[in-house]
Structure 1
Amino acid sequence: MAHPLYKAVPLPHDIDYSKQGVEVPGTKRPGQTGHYQNAAFGYTGLKSPGAFQTLPEVFETGLALSRDLTLLGHRPIVSKNPVQFADHYVWQTYAQVDVRRRNLGSAIHSLFEDGTLAGGELPTVGIWSQNRPEWQIVEWALNAYGKVSVSLYETLGQESVEYIINHAQLTSIFTTSNHLAELIKLAPKVPQLKLIVTLDEITPEAKQIASLWASTVGISLRELKELEEYGAARLIATLPVKPDQVASICYTSGTTSVPKGVILTQGLLAAATYSNLYGYSIAPTERGVILGYLPLAHIYERLNELAVVSLGGAIGYFSGDPLRLLEDALTLKPNFFPSVPRVLNRIYQAAMLAGGAPGLKGAIFRRALEAKLQKLHTTGEVTHALWDRIIQAVLGGNIKLMVCGSAPISAEVVDFLKIAFACDVIEGKHTPYGMTENGACCTKCLSGDPSAAGTVGPPQPGTEIKLVDVPSMKYLAEDKPYPRGEICCRGDVVFSGYYKDPKNTAEAIDEEGWVHTGDVGEIDNAGRLRIIDRVKNIMKLAQGEYVALEKVENTYATHPLVAQIFVHGDSLKSYVIGVVVPDPAQLAAFAGKVLGRTVSADDTQTLKQIVSEPKLVNAVLAALTKEGEKHLKGFELLKRIHVSLDPFSVDDNTMTPTFKLRRKDAYNKYKTELDAMYALPDPVSSHKAQKL
Structure 2
Amino acid sequence: MGGARRGALLTDNNLLSYYFEDAKTLYEVFQRGLHASGNGSCLGYRKPNQPYQWLTYRQVLDRAQYLGSGLLQKGCKPSSNQFIGIFAQNRPEWIISEYACYTYSMVAVPLYDTLGPEAIVYIVNKADINIVICDKPEKAQILLENCEQEKTPYLKTIILMDLFDKELKDRGAEVGIEILALQEVEELGRNNIREPVPPKPEDLCIVCFTSGTTGNPKGAMLTHQNVVANAAAFLRSTENTVECTSSDITMSYLPLAHMFERVVQTVVYSCGAKVGFFQGDIKLLTDDMKTLKPTLFPVVPRLLNRIYDKIQSGAKSPVKRCLLNFAVIMKMAEIKQGIIRNDSIWDKLIFKKVQETMGGRVRIMVTGAAPISPSVLTFLRAALGCQIFEAYGQTECSAGCTFSMPGDWTTGHVGAPLACNIIKLDDVEEMNYYSSNNEGEVCIKGPNVFKGYLKDPEKTAEAIDKDGWLHTGDIGKWLPNGTLKIIDRKKNIFKLAQGEYIAPEKIENVYIRSAPVAQVFVHGESLRSFLIGIVVPDPETLPEFAAKLGVKGSYEDVCKNPAVKKAILEDMVRLGKEAGLKSFEQVKDLYIHTEMFSVENGLLTPTLKAKRTELVKIFQKQIEALYSSTQE
- TM-score normalised by the chain length of structure 2: 0.76
The alpha-carbon distance between structure 1 residues 286 and 192, as it changes in their structure 2 partners (threshold 3 A), is closer
- Would the aligned equivalents of 1:256 and 1:662 in 2 still touch at CA under 8 Å? no
The residue number in structure 2 matching 1:308 is 268
The residue number in structure 2 matching 1:191 is 153
How far did 1:126 drift?
Answer: 0.3
The residue number in structure 1 matching 2:488 is 533
- Would the aligned equivalents of 1:150 and 1:248 in 2 still touch at CA under 8 Å? yes
How far did 1:328 drift?
Answer: 1.2
The residue number in structure 1 matching 2:94 is 135
The residue number in structure 2 matching 1:520 is 475
The residue number in structure 1 matching 2:190 is 232
Q: Deviations over 1:40-82 (max 9, x none)?
A: 2345333887373211111111011124311111112xxxxxx
Matched position secondary structure for 2:416: coil
Q: Deviations over 1:261-303 (max 9, x none)?
A: 0001122122222222112354566622111000000001111
The residue number in structure 2 matching 1:503 is 458
Matched position secondary structure for 1:149: strand
CA distance in 2, matches of 1:439, 1:269: 6
CA distance in 2, matches of 1:97, 1:311: 16
The alpha-carbon distance between structure 1 residues 575 and 545, as it changes in their structure 2 partners (threshold 3 A), is farther
The residue number in structure 1 matching 2:439 is 484
The alpha-carbon distance between structure 1 residues 531 and 90, as it changes in their structure 2 partners (threshold 3 A), is same
- Would the aligned equivalents of 2:160 and 2:181 in 1 still touch at CA under 8 Å? yes
How far did 1:511 drift?
Answer: 0.6
1:312-391 → structure 2 map (5 Å cutoff): 312-355=272-315, 357-377=316-336, 381=340, 383=342, 384-385=344-345, 386=348, 387-391=350-354
Matched position secondary structure for 1:247: strand
Aligned pair partner of 1:53 in 24, 30, 44: 24
How far did 1:213 drift?
Answer: 0.6
Would you say 1:470 and 2:428 are equivalent positions?
yes
CA distance in 1, matches of 2:121, 2:354: 45
CA distance in 2, matches of 1:162, 1:156: 11
The residue number in structure 1 matching 2:178 is 220
1:174 partner amino acid? I
- Would the aligned equivalents of 1:445 and 1:456 in 2 still touch at CA under 8 Å? yes
CA distance in 1, matches of 2:300, 2:516: 26
The structure with the larger Rg is 2
Would you say 1:570 and 2:570 are equivalent positions?
no
Matched position secondary structure for 1:160: helix
How far did 1:330 drift?
Answer: 1.1
2:186 partner amino acid? E
1:23-422 → structure 2 map (5 Å cutoff): 27-28=1-2, 34-42=3-11, 43-46=14-17, 50=21, 52-76=23-47, 85-112=48-75, 122-176=81-135, 177-187=137-147, 188-202=150-164, 206=165, 208-280=166-238, 281-283=241-243, 287-355=247-315, 357-377=316-336, 381=340, 383=342, 384-385=344-345, 386=348, 387-422=350-385
Q: Deviations over 1:503-534 (max 9, x none)?
A: 11000000110000011111112211111111
Matched position secondary structure for 1:279: helix
The residue number in structure 2 matching 1:439 is 398
Matched position secondary structure for 1:334: coil
1:526 partner amino acid? N
CA distance in 2, matches of 1:655, 1:377: 44
How far did 1:454 drift?
Answer: 1.1
127-136 or 467-476: which moved more? 467-476
Matched position secondary structure for 1:402: strand
CA distance in 2, matches of 1:379, 1:349: 26
1:419-430 → structure 2 map (5 Å cutoff): 419-429=382-392
Percent of pairs identical after alignment?
Answer: 36
- Would the aligned equivalents of 1:521 and 1:531 in 2 still touch at CA under 8 Å? yes
How far did 1:497 drift?
Answer: 0.6
What count of residue pairs does the alignment treat as equivalent? 521
Gaps spanning 5+ residues in structure 2: where?
Answer: 496-500, 519-578, 580-596, 616-632
CA distance in 1, matches of 2:406, 2:517: 37
CA distance in 2, matches of 1:495, 1:111: 30
The alpha-carbon distance between structure 1 residues 123 and 410, as it changes in their structure 2 partners (threshold 3 A), is same
CA distance in 2, matches of 1:354, 1:212: 55
- Would the aligned equivalents of 1:124 and 1:169 in 2 still touch at CA under 8 Å? yes
- Would the aligned equivalents of 1:123 and 1:148 in 2 still touch at CA under 8 Å? yes
The alpha-carbon distance between structure 1 residues 310 and 195, as it changes in their structure 2 partners (threshold 3 A), is same
Q: Deviations over 1:528-582 (max 9, x none)?
A: 1111111136899xxx997989xxxxxxxxxxxxxxxxxx943536799999xxx
How far did 1:173 drift?
Answer: 0.3
- Would the aligned equivalents of 1:38 and 1:459 in 2 still touch at CA under 8 Å? yes
The alpha-carbon distance between structure 1 residues 130 and 218, as it changes in their structure 2 partners (threshold 3 A), is same
Matched position secondary structure for 1:36: coil
Matched position secondary structure for 1:427: strand
- Would the aligned equivalents of 1:121 and 1:169 in 2 still touch at CA under 8 Å? no
Gaps spanning 5+ residues in structure 1: where?
Answer: 1-26, 29-33, 77-84, 550-567, 580-634, 636-647, 669-692
1:488 partner amino acid? C
The alpha-carbon distance between structure 1 residues 153 and 232, as it changes in their structure 2 partners (threshold 3 A), is same
- TM-score normalised by the chain length of structure 1: 0.70
The alpha-carbon distance between structure 1 residues 545 and 287, as it changes in their structure 2 partners (threshold 3 A), is farther
CA distance in 2, matches of 1:334, 1:654: 42
Q: Deviations over 1:221-255 (max 9, x none)?
A: 00000000000011112113112211111100233
Matched position secondary structure for 1:189: coil
How far did 1:365 drift?
Answer: 1.4
Matched position secondary structure for 2:375: helix
CA distance in 2, matches of 1:337, 1:403: 7
CA distance in 2, matches of 1:352, 1:293: 25
- The Cα RMSD (Å) is 3.1
The residue number in structure 1 matching 2:582 is none
1:258 partner amino acid? N
The residue number in structure 2 matching 1:556 is none
How far did 1:496 drift?
Answer: 1.4
Matched position secondary structure for 2:453: coil
514-523 or 43-52: which moved more? 43-52
